[in-house]
Amino acid sequence: MTGLMKLTRALGLGTLVLALGVSQASPPAATGPALTRTVTDDSGRTVSVGSAPLRIVSLAPGATEMLFAAGGGSQVIATVEYSDEPPAARQVPRIGDVAAVDLERLVALHPDVVIAWPAGTNPAQRAKIARLNIPIYEQQVARLAELADSVRRLGLLTGTEADAARAAQDIDVRLASLKAAYLKNAAHPTVLLQVWNRPIYTVGGRQLMSDALEICGARNLFADLPEAGPVVDTEAVIGRDPDIIVAAAPPGEGAAWLAGWRRFGSMKAVREGHLVVFEDQAFSRLGPSVIDATEGLCKIIDRLSRGSY
């Protein structure tokens, strides 16, 4: 890969493609002088792109879903595994996953812009893409309330402002409805949101899923931790004694995760049977469907708080 980076700097993109032996897919034929626009991404960075429509590669499932919501789904020419919402996204070719993409295939696609998820996309690969002089647009939100503006910005990128505005309004209305229904939960329970097992991963207070818990009227047990996905040990969980433990697990794994906690009968969540399997993958996808998942979790927490789960 060091040689690849040297070639990139010395030869430029076109010669790099030939040097790698990549079969060049012809980009759309130019119909006139390219118009350069400057847009602002979710990180506040300015990104220079051509006129819409664009050839877009999305490197995160959430970003793919957001692009479709903004009306730019037809411009997505490639994405990564688990980009399965909306259903139309399942037809988009895959060139890898969040951890690693096939760089040769990406180059051969001649993208106008790559959409990256800063907190999850492989930083080494993101740096390589930048060295290829392919514009990188960072899409990421930390709070559900930021989803609407993120969609609006993507609408500016893809030239689909009207569609994006409608999607953003729908997001705002749905969030307002959720807050009205659940934010003032009198019980205000503490929740361990477990997102992986062995080691135990949870979410810190700056992560979108932590914000979702707050909207549900609950408190993230580890909201004081700054990391997006910190590792915690069993003793730390026992010491904080959560009211509820939620296994936000891959399909079919949540029950096994919770079985490990049943050994600690002194914990309030175990003693009261407040152990929840929650395997809605939209909750971790970080696209608009996270609102649906949040509503589902809010209903569960509300029932537990009322003693009717």
Q: Residue 54 has which token pair?
A: 């664009």
pLDDT of residue 119: 81
Q: 56: left (phi > 0), else alpha (psi -120 to 50), else beta?
A: beta
Q: Could you say which DSSP state residue 28 is in?
A: P
- Strand residues in 41-89 grouped as ranges (E): 46-49, 56-58, 76-78
Rounded average pLDDT over 262-281 = 96
For the CA atoms of 60, 61, 67, 72, the dihedral, rounded to the nearest 10 degrees, stands at 100
Q: Domains in the chain, please, with CATH?
A: 35-168 (3.40.50.1980), 184-305 (3.40.50.1980)
Q: Does residue 83 register a pLDDT over 80? A: yes
pLDDT of residue 22: 31
Q: Does residue 223 register a pLDDT over 80? A: yes
What length is written for the chain?
A: 309
Which of the pair, 122 or 171, is modelled with greater confidence? 171
Which residues neighbour 4 within 8 Å (Cβ) at sequence distance 6 or greater? Answer: 16, 20, 103, 128
Rounded average pLDDT over 188-207 = 95
Confidence of residue 197 (pLDDT cuts 50, 70, 90): very high
Rounded average pLDDT over 190-205 = 96
What is this structure's pTM? 0.84
pLDDT of residue 147: 97
pLDDT of residue 186: 79
What Cα–Cα distance (Å) separates residue 300 from each residue in 46, 182, 187, 256, 277?
Answer: 41, 11, 13, 19, 10
- Smallest Cα–Cα separation from 280: which of 264, 261, 300? 300
Rounded average pLDDT over 93-121 = 93
pLDDT of residue 44: 97
pLDDT tens, residue by residue, 232-265: 999 999 999 999 999 999 999 999 999 999 999 9
Q: Does residue 219 register a pLDDT over 70? A: yes
Which of 74-78, 103-107, 117-121, 229-233 is the least confident region? Answer: 117-121
- Give the C-alpha separation, 201 to 205, whole Å: 13
Mean pLDDT of the chain: 88
pLDDT of residue 253: 96
pLDDT of residue 308: 57
Q: Does residue 217 register a pLDDT over 70? A: yes
Q: Does residue 2 register a pLDDT over 80? A: no
Rounded average pLDDT over 87-91 = 96
Confidence of residue 127 (pLDDT cuts 50, 70, 90): very high
pLDDT tens, residue by residue, 276-295: 999 999 998 889 999 999 99
Rounded average pLDDT over 76-97 = 95
Q: Residue 136 has which token pair?
A: 């990188």
Rounded average pLDDT over 136-146 = 94
- Give the C-alpha separation, 26 to 117, whole Å: 27
pLDDT of residue 306: 84
pLDDT tens, residue by residue, 4-60: 232 222 223 222 222 222 333 444 444 434 578 999 999 999 999 999 999 999 999
- Give the C-alpha separation, 24 to 9, whole Å: 19
172 Cα distance to chain centroid: 18
Are 7 and 16 contacting, i.e. CB atoms less than 8 angstroms apart? Answer: yes
